[in-house]
Amino acid sequence: MRLVLLAIQMLILLSRAGAEDPLSRYFPQPELDKLRAGEVLSASLSEDYGLTLLPAIASGDSIAADVKGRKPSIGVEMSSIISGLPQQMDTQEGWLLLYNSLHAVSTMKGIPYYSVTRGSTHVLFTDSYVIDSAEKRNRMADPLFSEIPTEDSIFTFQEDGTFGKNVYEESFSFKEDHLLVKMDNLTTISFLFLPLIQPRNLVSRVALIPSGNGVVFYGVSCLTTSFPLGDRHSREESLKNRLTAIANWLKARLSGEAQ
């Protein structure tokens, strides 16, 4: 009897050891181990504008080419796993929840982020909502979908504690195993009355991979300007903290913690 129980235990251990992590196709094992352990990974863009944290997704080459073609002044990558969600995210219902959560633009009002300059937590967006067009800027309700379109885009208005009032274009691409979100500024972003960032020079690319009760969040944010940036590290930290704030906002939406 003891031998039978031992054999059963060995079979269970072997089956567990042989079970492949569904995310192993996207990340090198050392990186995946860190993500599974709850780490938030980040990296500055390399000198040749290469991306080091980008998961192995079909959109990867286009994201990398997009960033490299811009030759940004600064840029940062961030990746994490939003885990422990109350439902399976790689189901039809989970995909739809993710898609609608990303379109809940008005709920971004008031989200916190850590300001490197001020050395404390502050509100990132003091106002945030969907608008009908970049020109008219009439406020619209957050869109709600019953089916996920292959491609979609919206215009948004956001008042930022650092960059002031600006208009953005957000586009969404529904792929076989991930969602790709592109965010570009459409208005000139000024700082202390200086035209710091021209249109489409503050961009973010976010890839989301639903898997089980979690979602992989990968983001790259970059900025191109002709003005001196001062402390480069602080500027990169600011971009990373913005991505982190968006990831935390999304987690709250998916967890049912936000209204």
Give pLDDT tens digits for 80-93: 999 999 999 999 99
- For residue 158, the surrounding DSSP H or E stretch is strand 151-160
Q: How many CB atoms lie within 10 A of CB 95?
A: 16
Q: How far apart are CA 156 and CA 236, in angstroms?
A: 24
pLDDT of 136 > 70? The answer is yes
Provide the pLDDT for residue 13.
39
Provide the pLDDT for residue 117.
78
Rg (CA), the chain: 20
Provide the pLDDT for residue 258.
65
The token pair that represents 239 in the structure block? 């971009």
DSSP tag of 117: T
Average pLDDT over every residue of 162-191 = 95
Domains of the chain: which residue ranges? 41-255
Percent of the chain whose predicted confidence (pLDDT) is above 90: 81
In this structure, are residues 183 and 204 in contact, taking their beta carbons and an 8 Å threshold? yes
Provide the pLDDT for residue 190.
87
**C-alpha dihedral, 44 to 49 to 55 to 57, nearest 10°:** 160
pLDDT of 235 > 80? The answer is yes
Among positive and negative, which fits the CA dihedral 84, 86, 88, 90?
negative
Instruction: Compute the C-alpha angle 206/239/153, nearest 5°.
Output: 35
Q: How far apart are CA 77 and CA 221, in angstroms?
A: 7
Helix, strand, coil distribution of the chain in percent, nearest 5: 30, 35, 40
Average pLDDT over every residue of 196-224 = 97
Which band of pLDDT confidence, cut at 50, 70 and 90, is reported for residue 56? very high
Provide the pLDDT for residue 23.
98
3-state SS, residue 224: coil
Which band of pLDDT confidence, cut at 50, 70 and 90, is reported for residue 161? confident
Q: How far apart are CA 234 and CA 50, in angstroms?
A: 20
pLDDT of 12 > 60? The answer is no
The token pair that represents 77 in the structure block? 């990558």
Third-level CATH fold of 41-255:
Alpha-D-Glucose-1,6-Bisphosphate; Chain A, domain 4 (3.30.530)
Percent of the chain whose predicted confidence (pLDDT) is above 70: 92
Q: What is the pLDDT of the chain when averaged over all its residues?
A: 91
Which band of pLDDT confidence, cut at 50, 70 and 90, is reported for residue 14? very low
